[in-house]
A = this chain, B = another copy of it.
Amino acid sequence: MAIKQVVYEPLTTDTARELSKNLQLFNQNDQLSAVEIGDGNLNLVFRIQNVINEKSYIIKQALPYAKVVGTSWPLTLDRSRIEGESLKRTYQLVPELTPKVYYSDSTLAVTVMDDLSHLIILRKGLIAGNQYPKLAKDIGIFLAHTLFFNSDFGLNQQDKKIQSSQFINPELCKITEDLVFTDPFFDHDTNNIDDTLKLFVTETIWADPALKLEVAKLKQAFLTKGETLVHGDLHTGSIFVSEEETIVIDPEFAYYGPFGFDVGAFIANLILNYLAQDVHLAVQPQKKAEFQRYLLDVITETWQVFEQEFTTLWQEHPQDAFMNVDGYLEQTLQTIFSDAIGFAGCKVIRRMIGLAGVEDVESITDVNLRNQVKKNALTLGKKLIVQRNELTSIQKLVKVVSDHA
């Protein structure tokens, strides 16, 4: 094994290659290529490959700062430890949906894992209009197994408390608390709003006290509902896919939070792609109808698989004496669902006016068309938040999305 570094320093392609040899991922005499393929905002990502047999690994290293739209702020390296711990725990539960971790070092803030270059990031696949037949089932399974087995329903309740202490994640939670649950709902300087949209945002979002009260409750749920170990950032950019495979990456935001949070994040990003396709596929009405139908089917099937699988786990692996009480499972699923819809609404809104947009929408070059999509998204997001307790079935949710002009 490698000799542990005593101080942090950023890797280079040379030191990354050397680390992979020291870890005996390759033989000493193998000829290796090393390329940095990250976007450089938060992490370095090196792909190390044997040039002969093409066997390869990823070395991911956290940077001690975050760069977003030109600004930079310090960011804890502890997120690398949290990401590594979360990946390892998730691999125990759903190995086929998780990259395998071969090595991690909290001083270097390094995680060595499977190379997934043969897959595509789901967001890019959806923007290109590709369908992934296994996606909904895989994410439904992923959500059911990770959320159930890390909760008081599926994990020894004392072990759960000890596990939760390893995922105290103040700095990354703060990013979500600010950028998802707070700044977009006020005229805050981190927002990124086109001038022509500002009046609409003011009237629709900032001037609505009923909306703000509901967002306050959802934020409080994010702050205090330590129900299970959530991924914490399960958007379509955190999922690698192909026709045959689905792999969830990047759990740096993992912490003990509400069941509904990951479910809501995934649904929100499918909804955003749905709304953006109104423009992307405008000139192919038949393809548009078909693809949007597919997206709604993914939302429906994901929830149905989650619900079915969670129910099976609940019945087969109960950790709590009350789990066979009539109505408790149904009540639990209903709360997860309404929380998820509320969180989805917040995520939709923040992507339209907050610091970080989504490529699905930002790639629309015509400003008027883009703003029309954003307005649609803002009113839909608001509807999800305010009506979340009335949307008591996946069919009702999907109808609200498809009816939304």
State the A residues within 8 Å of B (CB): 152, 157-158, 161-162, 164-165, 168-171, 173-174, 177, 182, 185-186, 209, 212-213, 215-217, 219-220, 223-227, 256, 320-323, 325-328, 331-332
Contacts and interface: CB of A to CB of B under 8 A. Distances in A.
Given A177-B157, A223-B152, A226-B224, A321 B182 contact: yes
A215 B170 contact: no
**How many copies of this chain are found per oligomer?**
2
Nearest to A227: B224
B157 A162 contact: no
A213 B157 contact: no
A225 B224 contact: yes
A331 B170 contact: no
Contact of A331 (B161, B215, B217, B332): B217
A223 B326 contact: no
Contacts of A170: 157-158, 161-162
A209 B161 contact: no
A185 B325 CA distance: 11
B161 A224 contact: no
Contacts of A217: 328, 331
B157 A171 contact: no
A24 to B, nearest CB: 35
25 contacts: A152-B223, A157-B223, A158-B171, A161-B173, A164-B168, A182-B322, A186-B321, A212-B322, A213-B322, A213-B325, A213-B326, A213-B327, A213-B328, A213-B331, A215-B322, A216-B322, A216-B328, A217-B331, A219-B320, A220-B332, A224-B225, A224-B226, A224-B227, A225-B226, A226-B256
B216 A152 contact: no
B152 A162 contact: no
A88 B216 CA distance: 31
Contacts of A152: 220, 223-224
Nearest to A256: B226
A91 to B, nearest CB: 24
A300 to B, nearest CB: 27
